[in-house]
Amino acid sequence: MKKVKTLILRTAGTNCDYETQSAFELCGAVADRVHINTLIEKKNKIFEYDILVFPGGFSYGDDIASGKILSNEIKNKLGDEIKKYALSGRPIVGICNGFQVLVKIGLLPDPKFFKQIFTLSCNDSDKFECRWVYLKVEKKVRRESNCIWTKNLPDVISLPVAHGEGKFVSGNEKFLDNLNKNSQIVFRYSLKDGSEPEYPLVPNGSIGHVAGICNKKGNIFGLMPHPERYVFTLQHPAREGFNDRYGWGKVIFQNAVDFVI
Amino acid sequence: MKYTTKCETIKILNLSNEQLLELSKKNLLSLSLEEMKVVRNYFKKLKRNPTDIEMETIAQTWSEHCKHKTLTGLIEYTEEENGKKTRRIYNNLLKETIFKASIELNKTWCLSIFKDNAGIIEFDSKNGVAFKVETHNHPSALEPYGGSATGIGGVIRDILGVGLGAKPLANTDVFCLGDPNMEASKIPKGVHHPKRIMKGVVSGVRDYGNKMGIPTVNGTTYFDDGYIVNPLVYCGTMGIIPKNKINKKVEFGDLILVVGGRTGRDGIHGATFSSIQLDKKSAVSAVQIGNPIIEKKVLDAMLKARDLNLYRAVTDCGAGGLSSAVGELGKKIGAVVYLDKVPLKYDGLRPWEIWISEAQERMVFTVSPKNIEKIIEVFEKEDVEAVCIGKFTNDKKLTLTYDGNVVANMDMKFLHNGIPKPTKRAFYKVSEEKIQKPIEMDSSEISSSLASLLADLNICSKEWIIRQYDHEVQGQTVVKPLQGNNIEISGPGDAAVIFPYTVIKGTKKGIVLSNGLNPQYGKINSYKMAASAIEEALRNAVAVGADVRRISILDNFCFGNPNDPEILGSLVRATKACYDVSKAFEVPFISGKDSLHNEYFINGKRYSIPSVLLISAMGVIENVENTVTMPFKKNGNKIFVLGITRNELGGSVFSKISNMKGGAVPNVFPSESKDIMKKIYSAISENLIEACHDCSEGGIAVAVSEMAFSANKGVKIDIDAVNIYSHLECESEGGIRIMTPAEILFSESNGRFIVEIKPNNEEKFKKILGGAVFSEIGYVSDDKEVIFESKRSNVKIQQNSEFLLNSWHNTINL
Amino acid sequence: MFEIEVLTKEGFKNSRGEHVLSDIYGLGIEDITNVEYSTLYVVEGDISFGEIETIASELLTDKVAESYLIRRRDAEGNSEVISKFSDTKETGRLNHNFSVIEVWYKKGVTDTVSESVIKAVKDLGIAKKIKVKTGHKYHLYGKILQKTLLNTVAKKLLANTLIQKYKIH
């Protein structure tokens, strides 16, 4: 059987690359942690991979704003390749800092448009927050969304978040309406029973409680929570999971690997 | 010898004693008269005056920070108990107490102790785990954010610089601070408000730790007015290292490579500054700002270089900067450094400033010439600056040049062994501890005391701090600092467990981290403070599933001025306890550090901080699945208390909030406790324990309440069923009396755990406990009411679990 | 020498400003009714107005939630605004009473953000050698704010005078 190859892009300040690598390996993929300098030197290397990951961390210290310097670098040095890769339909995920990068490059919500129309700004609490939250996949989204990453999940799952700038906002309500209409908001913060949450279960004050979105085609997915930190039941505060051994985060990576196969 | 204009000669050959002292003071050398005399005599023999850079090198090499002069010096100790005086001479306090215990215990799983930047114990057949805790107190008082950030940055570099470099897996932090809600008018002039200090130090650890991608998983914050002016900031890091990367080697001809941050004027005199008392004029340049991303780049690239075997030794640039790092690596063979090659942040640094600057994020590597190009390439590929600045020689000398001119030339032997050993006097008077008058309280008084205890700064939730730290990055924190049965509510965990599955593929093992400290006990009894700190750290680790036979500990002393015989006396007493308790539990010390001179002046009056011994524990757990958390799990399960409750309220949180006079400080009974700890481990390994919680500050009442409210459950406890010990009472006040309910509930006796057991496991559990002291005291209930009842004393305390949770939860929110 | 001020757009939450305001109340000061925070960057070097505008709009400002102002600064610290508000809503602010506290690092103190900005400017394709300094600016709103009160806020909250200097205007 074909080995699915995953590229985990790292740079100064990336720090969730090892656990993300482990998560993909657990799902049967090969996962390489590749430094951005290597990729800039050999731009076409990216097309050797089936899946592209922008992992969590503090790229370049999140100086100026979270993910800003890395998205500026990617846009200016790898823009064409990344866009081409995204439009090819291959799975791309951005987790936490990676989500901030996807939004700031403009791969989300629409790689064809390739412009930033949303942002992830400072949490309402003005604090970094590390905690577990509930995430809801709405029925309509479950039915209509093309997102390849969030299949096979129950209505509500829990994942940990850890960020200081995760408040999803838009300068224009129309953009948000479009996301809703196209079923692109795949994860919203919620209570355990799926109902409307308050702080701290919405850890950042996101509009519409948005925690994760995908593009219309469904191959590009960005989210603030960390699925790579919940691949084993052991990692859950109460040691729950989808079976005795694995956590719900694993399903997300498995979905992408299975999609490629 | 020719000198550049940038390098001055310091004329000391003909100075009088007073002039020598004045010179030491003026140049912030922190050298004593004895030491200055030895320096003068050395240069007399060389028939020349030293250069400024030579004086600075000696000063920092001989600093308290680098040499631990007090703990390794001569001490004449007198102890007075019941009017009787005994004397003892210590030639080297550390070697005769803490270190001695470890040598005598001789554990084969201790791989490297007291010789490298951190202690290392065995993790599995191929790997070791390293642990180190440091303090960064004075800089944090002046610039809380920068101080604590560089504190955590520095201890992370200790882990990067142990052996050939360990990969950091977790951080710990412990702060001792003033009350953040204190009225501003009560703060001495020129001192930051405790709230500002607290916010600053938390943000510093948060930003540095989070950006390094290392989870901060364990710690505590201790509040006392004695820390308003001189706060304490402890930072620790644990890392994992292959066993075949533990030894460093330095050979003649090896090159010296400096890697990472550039050198600037920041942090000049940090090493000597740490042994100067705090005052308003404290050296401004001692304050530094860290850059975690540079350090993260160094970490990423150096692990690559390590695994390619591209260097022979590495160490961090900490206190004393290059001087300390190169001096340490080359002390047996000699080294030459070309100071003009050191990359600088800006021009204008004098040679001595380059040499002793404590600019952050720098590491020094020893590289064989054949690997130099390869290793520089590895670093440069990831945008890390790496520059060769000198080489190791075989002349046993330290030679420094600048622009081709020799600016320093000294014998390594003088530099590292020339320091004279001063004799210090120490005195300790053991004060008598009397049991307090019986504490008679009615039900409602006990109830409100319980709520006050939960809200007390030293017991209340530290969630405001903990959630700002990314305690889950790396995905390996399987027992978390805040523990709950769901994600909405959580209580205070006893210890954290790291499951290093991303580094050691296929492993089942884990690493437990915990801590113990109690300065309040130290105000009454230094021995018991130290003994209790060790026991608390061990209990905390055992409560989550550690095997006491595989735990190692670190000591970190923060005391006042050791030239004060009484302060040094209490330090000696504490180290004595360390020896006794380490031996009795067979738990070895593997590393440690001391920060002395924590004192300050207000209106000319001298104050010392309340002395602290922080004990940090690290243990290896065979199977991470066999770990437990502290919230109660299921209604109807039985609750046991293990260990004996004694009338020990001296120094307790209860005694503080109730202004109680007297009381005995909790003692340690290692044989009882060790037996219980082993049995808890067996029971957890057989899956017989549902929840387990250490019983310490606030006693049984607080421990049980925490287990209940963190589970959103109720509990019913029979106070009369608790095993109490009445022998102490016989000796005191001339009569036997039974402990009152308040005393039973709030006593802080060591050696106790609260444990939850399923009814059908009871028999097996009791069999494991055998002859240990334990009693069944109640059960988990479904009505969310926390009830403590004594029919004997006609007392019934009843509080809603949610109310108790809120009492505990809402104190700190800055 | 250019100075770029990055401000939160109207309608977006200024969390940092709100946090500072609550800390000001914590000091027992009630004369200040609102705080807005913005970031300052001083860019020195042989660069054109076009280039500085690119740096401001593409790099330093979040297009969705922030706007910017560019000032030309001379060595004495005098400055004049030379850009348009990139979001015209911002001009509304100027009609209110407010005082400003600026906080800058003292010379020799490591400014980590400045190093990142220099790297990012290179990535933008601007190859000229530049120097960057970063600072913080707080707009404090209130009726008449006494200088002593502003000094207290600056010293106790916004600047650590050991490593930072502040300016009130």
Residue B518 DSSP SS3:
coil
Give the neighbours of chain A: at least 3 Cβ pairs within 8 Å.
B, C
- Average pLDDT of every residue of chain B: 93
Which residues on B lie below 8 Å from A230 (Cβ)?
A: 475
Q: What's the Rg (C-alpha) of chain A?
A: 17
Q: Is the pLDDT of residue C90 over 60?
A: no
Reply yes or no on whether the pLDDT at B647 is more than 70: yes
> Across the interface, do C123 and A205 touch by the CB < 8 Å criterion?
no
CA–CA separation, B723 vs B674, rounded Å?
A: 18
Interface mutation target, options C25, C110, C111, chain B, most CBs of B under 10 Å: C110
Interface of C with A (CB under 8 A): 9, 12-13, 15-16, 18-19, 58-60, 62-65, 112-113, 116-117, 119-120, 123-125
Q: Residue B156 domain-assigned?
A: no
Task: Count residue pairs from A and C with Cβ separation < 8 A.
Answer: 71
- Walk along chain A (261 residues) and give the pLDDT tens digit of each residue: 679 999 999 999 999 999 999 999 999 999 999 999 999 999 999 999 999 999 999 999 999 999 999 999 999 999 999 999 999 999 999 999 999 999 999 999 999 999 999 999 999 999 999 999 999 999 999 999 999 999 999 999 999 999 999 999 998 999 999 999 999 999 999 999 999 999 999 999 999 999 999 999 999 999 999 999 999 999 999 999 999 899 999 999 999 999 998
Enter the tokens of residue B216. Answer: 């901060």
Alpha-carbon distance A73 to nearest alpha carbon in chain C (angstroms): 5
Structural domain harbouring B356: 253-393
Q: Where residue B262 sits, what CATH number does that domain have?
A: 3.90.650.10
Number of domains in chain A: 1
Confidence band for B673, pLDDT divided at 50, 70 and 90: very high
C26 near B CB under 8 A = yes
What integer pLDDT is reported at residue C41 of this predicted model? 97
The residues of B annotated with a catalytic role in the active site are 65, 136
C156 contacts B291? CB cut-off 8 A? no
State which residue of chain C sits closest to A118, comparing Cα positions: C64
Residue B287 clears pLDDT 80, i.e. is over it? no
Chain B: nearest CA to C26, how far in angstroms? 9
Our CA dihedral for B534, B539, B540, B544, rounded to 10 degrees, sits at: 150
Phi-psi region of A161 (alpha: psi -120 to 50; beta: other; left: phi over 0): beta
Positions of A annotated as catalytic residues are: 96, 226, 228
Nearest CA-CA distance, residue B206 and chain A, Å: 8
Mean pLDDT of the B291-320 span: 95
Asked if A229 lies within 8 A of B624 by C-beta distance, the reply is: no
Chain B residues 280-299 with a CB less than 8 Å from chain C: 284, 287-289, 291, 293
Name the minimum distance, in Å, from the CA of C122 to any CA of chain A: 9
Local confidence band at B270 (pLDDT 50, 70, 90 cut-offs) = low
A15–B503: do the CB atoms touch at under 8 Å? no
H or E element, residue B463? helix B463-466
Strands B397-402 and B335-338: parallel
Residues of C in contact with B149 (CB under 8 A): none
For A194-203, the CB contacts below 8 A with 24+ separation are A194/A136, A194/A155, A194/A156, A197/A133, A197/A134, A199/A124, A199/A125, A200/A125, A200/A129, A200/A131, A201/A133, A201/A134, A201/B488, A202/A133, A203/A123, A203/A125, A203/A129, A203/A131, A203/A133, A203/A161, A203/A163, A203/A166
Q: Quick check: A192 and B488 CB within 8 A?
A: yes
Residue B197, in any domain of the structure? no
To the nearest whole angstrom, how far is the Cα of B146 from the nearest Cα of chain C? Answer: 10
- Determine the structural domain holding residue A232 and report its residue range: 5-260
Q: What is the CATH number of the domain that holds A57?
A: 3.40.50.880
- Nearest Cα of chain B lies from the Cα of C141 at a distance, in angstroms, of 23
Nearest of A120, A125, A69 to residue A95 by alpha carbon: A120
pTM above 0.90, yes or no: yes
What gap in Å lies between CA B16 and CA B12, rounded to an integer?
9
- Of B480, B502, B455, residue with least CA distance to B706: B455
Interface test with C, best of A39, A63, A169 (most C CBs within 10 A): A63
pLDDT of B283 reads 47
CA–CA separation, B625 and B616 (whole Å): 23
User: Of C23, C25, C160, C165, which to mutate for an interface test with B (greatest number of B Cβ within 10 Å)?
Assistant: C160
What ipTM was estimated for this complex?
0.97
pLDDT of B596-609, one tens digit each? 989 998 888 999 99
CA distance C57 to C62: 8
CA A254 to chain centre: 14
Distance from CA of A16 to the nearest CA of B (A): 6
- B265 and B285 Cβ atoms separated by less than 8 Å: yes
**Contact partners, residue B367, CB within 8 Å, separation at least 6:** B254, B255, B256, B257, B310, B311, B312, B375, B388
Tell me how many domains chain B contains: 1
Question: Is the peptide bond preceding residue A55 cis, with omega within 30 degrees of 0?
Answer: no
Report the pLDDT value the prediction gives residue B273, as an integer from 0 to 100: 54
Chain B contact for A245 (CB, 8 A cutoff): no
pLDDT at B514: 98
The chains found to touch B (3+ Cβ pairs under 8 angstroms) are A, C
Closest residue in B to A202 (Cα) is B488
- The alpha-carbon radius of gyration of chain C (Å, integer) is 16
- Among residues B356, B404, B332, B54, the alpha carbon closest in space to that of B46 is found at B54
Backbone φ and ψ for B457, nearest 5 degrees, come out as -50, -35
> What average pLDDT does this structure show over B70-91?
94
Interface contact C11, partner B, CB < 8 A: no
**Topology classification of domain C2-168:** Mth169; Chain: A , (3.30.1280)
**Residue B277 pLDDT greater than 80, yes or no:** no
Partner-chain contact B143 C27, CB within 8 Å: no
Q: Which residues contact B510 (CB under 8 A, 6 or more apart)?
A: B478, B497, B498, B499, B500, B620, B621, B623, B624, B627
> Could you say which of C9, C63, C124 has the minimum Cβ distance to residue A72?
C124
pLDDT of residue B548 exceeding 90, the answer is yes
Q: Is the Cβ–Cβ distance between B531 and B580 less than 8 Å?
A: yes
Whether the CB of B470 is below 8 Å from some CB of chain A: the reply is yes
Residue B187 has pLDDT above 80, yes or no: yes
| Beta bridge partner(s), residue B592 | B555
Identify which has the larger pLDDT, B139 or B386.
B386
Q: Which of A35, A61, A162 sits opposite B473 (nearest CB)?
A: A162
Q: Are A63 and A69 in contact (CB under 8 A)?
A: yes
Q: Which of B292, B490, B503 sits opposite A61 (nearest CB)?
A: B292
Question: How far is B399 from B411, CA to CA, in rounded Å?
Answer: 9
Q: For B389-441, how does the pLDDT look when each residue is reduced to its tens digit (9 = 90+)?
A: 999 999 999 999 999 999 999 999 999 999 998 899 999 999 989 899 999 99
In angstroms, the CA B543 to CA B535 distance is: 12
Of A223-227, B758-762, C37-41, C86-90, give the lowest mean pLDDT range: C86-90
The answer to whether residue C19 neighbours chain B at the CB level (below 8 Å) is no
List CB contacts (< 8 A) between A170 and chain C: 64
Task: Give the chain C residue nearest A173 (alpha carbons).
Answer: C64
Contact B279, B286 (CB under 8 A): no
DSSP summary character for residue B284: G
